[in-house]
Structure 1
Amino acid sequence: MIRDDRLPRDAQSILELAARSMFDLFANASEGMMLVDRNARVVWINDQYRRFLPALGFEREEDFVGHPVSSVVQNTQMHQVLATGKPILIDLLTNKAGTFVVSRIPLRDDAGEVIGVLGIVLFDHPETTLQPLISKFARLEQDLSDARRELASQRRTKYTFASFVGSSAAALEVKRQARRAAQSASPVLLLGETGTGKELLAHAIHAASPRAGRPFVSVNMAAVPDTLLEAEFFGVAPGAYTGADKKGRDGKFKLADGGTLFLDELGDMPMSVQVKLLRALQEGEIEPLGSNKLVHFDVRVVAATSRDLQQMVRDGSFREDLYYRLNVLPIRVPPLRERRDDIALLIEALCEDIAARGGGAQLELNPDAQALLASQAWRGNIRELRNVLEQLALRSDTHHIAGSQVGVVLQEAGLPALAPAAALRVPQRAAVTDALRPLPEQIAELEHRAIAQALAHTGGNRTAAARLLGISRASLYDRLTTMDLAPEFQTTD
């Protein structure tokens, strides 16, 4: 009963009458009503509600009334109203009987304590009576689902070990070490020049690890301003500073919880952030900006750098304790000039990917074009090789690429385009096309051209040429015994 001692007796009577009238109005106008007591047990239903019982799975009223509401009504929120004392005025309820628009109102005694909840079924066919509202709700649900899928796809790994192309001894060794690292929870430090595939390996390590189903989150130290790195890592509490999001923002550690955090360009991390990163890794907890609460996390760290961290430690620009914290499983990713046996495979894989992305025909490089590419030092490694191939795809009217076309692109890019033929007289078989010649002969010719280009590039210095080709000096000498060298390269170094 509603009672307000501040009202005169007549006014109190009017209030009680209004309450009874409203109850009778809802009882007659609604599609159904129920009452639950303070123990969340159904104590009463009206005549309109009884028609839902068969659909809910009950033949008799006594099988429904007197039982806990959660056991007889699926997806009920009566417990929430009992616990909070706050009404839920408009809500959608879906259960075995259908979808309903419902209202839930707490009932209080004279002392103001919640003694039960009144549940009202306002509409039993919301798909027709509330079509605009239902449609808007459905669109919002779809947008939320799409956003979640998009976020999940962005947090997944893009690459696996199959994406690291190469069958050379150097490439196989890197993949062997990375596969072993994937099964460990220790930090991994990927070392190597820019463009060698360190980020790809980080993705692959995560994809092969027990954390593969969890997020993969990356932070590029060189791409985030120093003043924002702390917020990027640790997040921001709601209203932490002027202009901050009122809802706050999770940092990368929180987003990567349970998964892998990839720290790219580690050597560019400012000293002030290094201290806080070390503490976070040691304690397994972070403190968002503007908050005094510690947030626990569980991440596996994979870091990468193209800089000499040991020298930076000696110079005092990188903390020694953080270096040893991250340098638990170091993996050196070799530069492309140490993987020359992989260049042909890389060219094929890159050309295939460029064609797939651009929608054009896949490039086919003649042997002299491949030999010219194989002779380069590739200071930018695989990234630089891809750039040259993309330029060839855009500039060429045909997908068949000759060495002369490669030479033009290399020269314009400021790379040494080595002349393939002057230094070495290779027998020509003009009468027979490349496609009909024996494969060993074609391979030998390609090898001869590569050696000739290396000698031309080093001015005849055979030790330097062997280093450029990625073979031993003895191997180079063995090959030279079968070759007809031009006079300027007949002396030894």
Structure 2
Amino acid sequence: MSATSSHRPRLIPGHGHAGIEQAVNAFGLLRDYFEGAIIVDAHSRITWIDQRYRELLKLAADFDPVGLPVEEVIPHSLMRRVVETGKPTLLDIMRFDDRQFVVCRIPLKDEAGKVEGAIGFVFYDNVDYLEPILEKFENLQKQLTRAQAALTRERQAKYSLSSFVGLSDAVKELKSQVRRFALREGAALIQGETGTGKELLAHAIHRQSDRADGPFIAINVAAVPEQLLEAEFFGVAPGAYTGADRKPRQGKFELAHGGTLFLDEIGDMPPAIQAKFLRVLQEGEVEALGSNTIKKVDVRIIAATSQDLEAKVADKSFRADLYYRIAVLTVRIPPLRDRREDIALLCETLLEQTMRTPGQRGWVLLPEAIRLLESHDWPGNVRELRNVLERAAALAPSEVLDAAAIRRAMPQAAPRPTPTAAATSGGDLATRLAEAERDAILAALDASNGEKLAAARRLGVSRSQFYEKLRRHNITS
């Protein structure tokens, strides 16, 4: 390229170049502030490049780049993006071979505002002095990548069907049923007492379904205050209420798009939310709180409950139409007392996950200890069994767990209630059972100094179950 062409643009016939001409005319004022410059037209073809940029790129003296697409000369150039979007990149680091340039790219527009090209400057051809900043940026980028990967893992199913331990006939039938249901698209309802492994089975259904590559989003309905449930499910638009974030916040339905939404303790869903939830299931659309925009969602629902939803439907505390929507495929998990033959295998698995002291090879559970565990009713099911084993391991003087170690770790039995008049004078069975349950609740509350959560633990029931029983028996204090 001649000396003249290195300072004046070579115009490509048939295209306007008013902005390009003006840009080149300004170079005389700016030459002391950049190390090289280039101009492209509306088709991202090079129309001009100055001699210093040629030298930075180490172009051969007889090579003429004018008219070539910019990427053929500078592979990592983003000039085309600037031309197509009309938006500048005021500061960027561009790689060329083994070097890095600090560059700026600005769109060139005519008087009507139409983009007719772009101009790029190289401010620095040596970024060594930026090394601390670049290193910090790379570290932040790595942290962001790790955080995104961790978030992705959190939104994937953690358990497979093999995680549900047991060889009894009841467990074999349960797993067979789950495999069949996983291949279908209908909503599933998992029923079972607290601690039986409902969430584990929900993960397993997702893992074996066609949605396994999609997200698995879980929410415990009982753990979220009623006034926040709508925002949790459907999201929040910017400025929807005082104190709301200026950025939109996605709800659980949007986060679960293409995957599975797991609703634990769905029996605790307030009636007002039930109506809105049903509409989403019917229409497949969500509307964020404070927004007028409707968004389509493709989500499979898996719900779980330790309550009797049919009874709640009968007393009208749970909508019948919502119940039939979520109970398309129903799974009932047997309580641990109905599959006592699985306790030994469960103990072996749970003890493998129990913390050991340094140098300890493993826990040894003696046959007498297993027999003692098999004789317990386990109202808290597998969760209670895990807690007992962890407590026994913490209290044991060695890795050997005998019957004495297990007995020390077993929950203390609640005081037996004094027989009521109904129990001593007869009455139908339902009445006697209700009176006995009421007395047991009052005794647990008394032993727990009125602490409801502690009383629920004493009785081996979940918080939601306990509050339901309080309402049923009209116990207010």
Task: Give distance in 1, aligned partners of 2:358 and 2:388.
Answer: 15
Q: Structure 1, residues 161-216: CA drift from partner, whole Å, max 9, x if none?
A: 11110000001111111112222222111111110011111111112222222211
Structure 2 equivalent of residue 15 of structure 1: none
Secondary structure at the residue paired with 1:195? Answer: coil
| 1:393 maps to 2:393 | yes
Deviation at 1:59, TM superposition (A): 9.2
Letter in 1 for 2:297: F
1:30 aligned partner: 34
The residue that corresponds to 1:77 in the other structure is: 78
Q: Determine whether 1:104 maps to 2:105.
A: yes
Shift of 1:219: 0.5
Given residue 39 of structure 1, which amino acid in structure 2 is its aligned partner?
A: H
- Within 5 Å, which residues of 2 pair with 1:33-72? 33-51=37-55, 53=57, 61-62=63-64, 64-70=65-71, 72=73
Rounded Cα–Cα distance in structure 2 between residues aligned with 1:358 and 1:276: 53
Change (3 A) 1:202 1:360: farther
2:321 paired residue number: 321
Structure 2 vs 1, CA of residues 79 and 20 (structure 1 numbering), >3 Å: closer, same or farther?
A: closer
For 1:340 and 1:319, the matched residues in 2 are separated by 36
Alpha-carbon distance between aligned partners in 1 of 2:27 and 2:225, rounded to the nearest angstrom: 62
Instruction: Give the distance between the partners of 2:415 and 2:358, measured in 1 at CA.
Output: 25
Once the two structures are superposed, residues 42-89 of structure 1 have per-residue CA deviations (whole angstroms, 9 ceiling, x without a partner) of 21111122235568xx99644x42133355543433244334433221
Match of 1:232 in 2: 232
Shift of 1:22: 4.7
Aligned mates of 1:360, 1:223 — CA distance in 2: 38
The answer to whether the 8 A contact 1:35-1:43 is kept is yes
- Check 1:81–1:20 CA distance in 2 against 1; reply closer, same or farther (3 A cut): closer
Task: State the match for 1:454 in structure 2.
Answer: none
Task: For residue 105 of structure 1, report the CA deviation from its aligned partner.
Answer: 1.6
Equivalences for residues 43-442 of structure 1 within 5 A: 43-51=47-55, 53=57, 61-62=63-64, 64-70=65-71, 72-96=73-97, 98-126=99-127, 128-355=128-355, 362-410=362-410, 412=412, 414=414
Q: Return the alpha-carbon distance in structure 2 between the equivalents of residues 92 and 362 of structure 1.
A: 55
Aligned to 1:457: none
User: Are residues 19 and 404 of structure 1, via their aligned partners in 2, closer, same or farther at CA, if it must alter by over 3 Å?
Assistant: closer
Q: Secondary structure at the match of 1:156?
A: coil
- For 2:359 and 2:297, the matched residues in 1 are separated by 43
Find the aligned partners of 1:29 and 1:367 in 2 and give their Cα distance. 84
Give the conservation status (yes or no) of the 8 Å contact 1:211–1:259: yes
Aligned to 1:8: none
Displacement of 1:281 in angstroms is 1.5
Question: How far apart are the structure 1 equivalents of 2:385 and 2:164?
Answer: 15
* Cα drift, residue 390 of structure 1: 1.2
Deviations 1:99-146 (A, max 9, x none): 3211012223344433221111212232x0322332232122122112
- The alignment yields a C-alpha RMSD, in angstroms, of 2.6
User: Which residue of the partner structure matches residue 446 of structure 2?
Assistant: none
C-alpha distance in structure 1 between counterparts of 2:411 and 2:290, whole Å: 54
Is the 8 Å Cα contact of residues 35 and 53 (structure 2) preserved in structure 1?
A: yes
Which stretch shows the higher mean deviation, 180-189 or 110-119?
Answer: 110-119
Q: 1:106 to 1:215 in 2, by over 3 A?
A: same
Report the CA distance between 1:406 and its aligned residue.
Answer: 2.3
Quote the sequence identity (%). 50
Distance 1:194 1:352, change over 3 A: same
Residue deviations 1:344-371 (CA, integer Å, cap 9, x gap): 1001111111136999553322222111
Q: Are the structure 2 counterparts of residues 411 and 179 from structure 1 closer, same or farther at C-alpha, using a change threshold of 3 Å? A: closer
Tell me if the contact between 2:391 and 2:409 (Cα under 8 Å) persists in the aligned partners. yes
Distance 1:109 1:265, change over 3 A: same
Would the alpha carbon gap of residues 162 and 54 (structure 1) be closer, same or farther in structure 2, given more than 3 Å must change? Answer: farther
Deviation at 1:414, TM superposition (A): 4.6
The residue that corresponds to 2:473 in the other structure is: none
> For the Cα contact (< 8 Å) 2:392–2:408, is it kept in 1?
no
Q: Residues 344 and 414 from structure 1, CA distance in 2 versus in 1: closer, same or farther, beyond 3 angstroms?
A: farther
Q: TM-score, normalised by structure 2?
A: 0.77
User: Is this contact kept in 1: 2:163–2:200, CA < 8 A?
Assistant: yes
Task: Please list every run of 5 or more consecutive structure 1 residues that lacks an aligned counterpart in the other structure.
Answer: 1-17, 417-493
Aligned amino acid, residue 30 of structure 1: F
Query: How many matched pairs?
Result: 396
Give distance in 2, aligned partners of 1:73 and 1:19.
21
Work out whether residues 27 and 46 of structure 1, in 8 Å CA contact, stay in contact via their aligned partners in 2.
no
Displacement of 1:29 after TM fit?
4.9
Equivalent AA in structure 2 for residue 312 of structure 1: K
The offset of 1:94, in angstroms, is: 3.0
Asked whether the 8 Å contact 1:354–1:362 carries over to 2, the reply is no
Q: Work out whether residues 236 and 251 of structure 1, in 8 Å CA contact, stay in contact via their aligned partners in 2.
A: yes
Question: How far apart are the structure 2 equivalents of 1:414 and 1:263?
Answer: 32
5+ residue gaps, structure 2? 1-21, 417-477
Hey, what's the Cα distance between the residues in 1 that align with 2:256 and 2:137?
31
Secondary structure of 2:289's match? Answer: coil
> What's the secondary structure of 1:289's corresponding residue?
coil
**CA separation in 2, counterparts of 1:181 and 1:132?**
55
- For 1:23 and 1:324, locate their aligned partners in 2 and report how far apart those are by CA, in whole Å: 74
Please say which structure displays the higher CA radius of gyration: 1
State the AA in 1 paired with 2:385: L
In structure 1, give the amino acid aligned to 2:257. Answer: D
Shift of the 60–188 alpha-carbon distance from structure 1 to 2, 3 Å rule, reads farther
Q: Check whether the contact 1:27–1:33 (CA below 8 A) recurs between aligned residues.
A: no
User: Normalising by the residue count of structure 1, what TM-score does the alignment of the two structures yield?
Assistant: 0.75
| Whole-angstrom CA distance in 2 between matches of 1:44 and 1:312 | 77
Where 2:132 maps in the other structure, the secondary structure is helix
What letter corresponds to residue 120 of structure 1 in structure 2? Answer: F
